[in-house]
Amino acid sequence: MRSSDSTSMHVFDAAIALDAGGGDSFLGNTHSAYGNMVGPFGGAIAATLLNAIMRHPQRLGEPLSHTVHFAAPIADGGFSVQTRVLRTNRSTQHWSVELVQDGAVAAFATSVTAVRRASWSALDAVFPEVPPASSIAPAPPIPRAAWTARYEMRFIDGAPGAPGTQSDSSQSRMWIRDTPQRSLDYLSLAALCDAFYPRIFVRRPQWVPIGTVSLTTYFHADATQLAAQGSAPLLGVARALRFGNGFFDQAAEMWSERGELLATSQQVVYFKE
């Protein structure tokens, strides 16, 4: 029996759970609660790869950056995760993590963990003026994408459009948190950064196959800010800058209700014309 099968565990923790696989290896499984239309929700995979680093006994500090490549479709089922410390400095550490399924690399990550220390600080990004989460009804999940039922999403604007509508902007703003509620940590924040509907469905509401190719998240929040967040909703803002030649980008900001920028994230996404 896997140690991660405890029934008292939050379903997100069950979905990203890893068993020791010997040395720098871990063993994981996709989880049906975080399934996507095909295979698992990428945010859950991003968090699983980060979890391998979080569990590693040699880890220095907390996550600072996390780049995930979705190299091939991940099948529902088991996989192994292989971690490697590429370099350890005084206050930063560089990691490589590979997810192997059926003998081939299906996803991989490169990450930085860092020891944060107090410093001069400044915020250049502007916290959007938006109505409070409590004033907006949660959007219904999408039945074909199980993972959408695992997040409470309250759209301020840029909800995925009805077929036939066309928007001049790919921007979405929403209040979002885990369902059921769960205290924020780096793992859930890594997944939340990928919990935006693909921008092409906002800009041009017409279903086409899409897939994230590469995703990079920078964690701005320190442990104190994360602890203060608890299970309160985060304000997520996502937009694309350019669509073309079968790919588009997506940039996201994750804010606390108090106007702290907790994380920023970018991804490049394939789409089939």
Token pair of 219 as six digits? 């964690």
Distance CA 229, CA 13 (A): 18
Helix (H, G, I), strand (E, B) or coil at 6: coil
Q: Does residue 242 interact with a second copy by CB under 8 A?
A: yes
When asked if residue 218 is in the footprint of a second copy (CB under 8 A), the reply is yes
Which residue bears the tokens 């068993």?
Answer: 19
Of the candidate spans 30-38, 62-70, 135-143, 227-235, the one that interacts with a second copy by CB under 8 A turns out to be: 62-70
Residue 207 binding a second copy, by CB under 8 A: no
Q: Are strands 92-101 and 25-29 parallel, antiparallel or unpaired?
A: unpaired
Other CB atoms within 10 Å distance of the CB of residue 206 = 12
3-class DSSP state of 155: strand
Which positions ≥6 away from 215 have C-beta within 8 Å? 42, 46, 67, 68, 70, 193, 194, 265, 266, 267
3-state secondary structure of 13: helix
- 209 touches a second copy (CB under 8 A): no
* Residue 163 found at the interface with a second copy (CB under 8 A): no
Closest by alpha carbon to 103, among 69, 78, 134, 85? 78
65 binding a second copy? (CB under 8 A)? yes
| Stretch of 26-34, 37-45, 147-155, 198-206 contacting a second copy, by CB under 8 A | 198-206
**Binding flag, residue 80, a second copy (CB under 8 A):** no
Place of tokens 């964690």: 219
120 binds a second copy (CB under 8 A): yes
Q: H/E element holding 141?
A: none
Residue 33: CB minimum distance to a second copy, A: 27
* Among 34-42, 51-59, 75-83, 93-101, the segment contacting a second copy (CB under 8 A): 93-101
Residues engaged in binding a second copy (CB under 8 A)? 64-65, 67, 69, 71-72, 86-87, 89, 91-92, 94, 96, 98, 104-106, 108, 110, 112, 114, 116-125, 169-171, 199, 203-204, 213-214, 216, 218, 220, 222, 239-247, 249, 251, 253, 261, 264, 266, 268, 270-271, 273
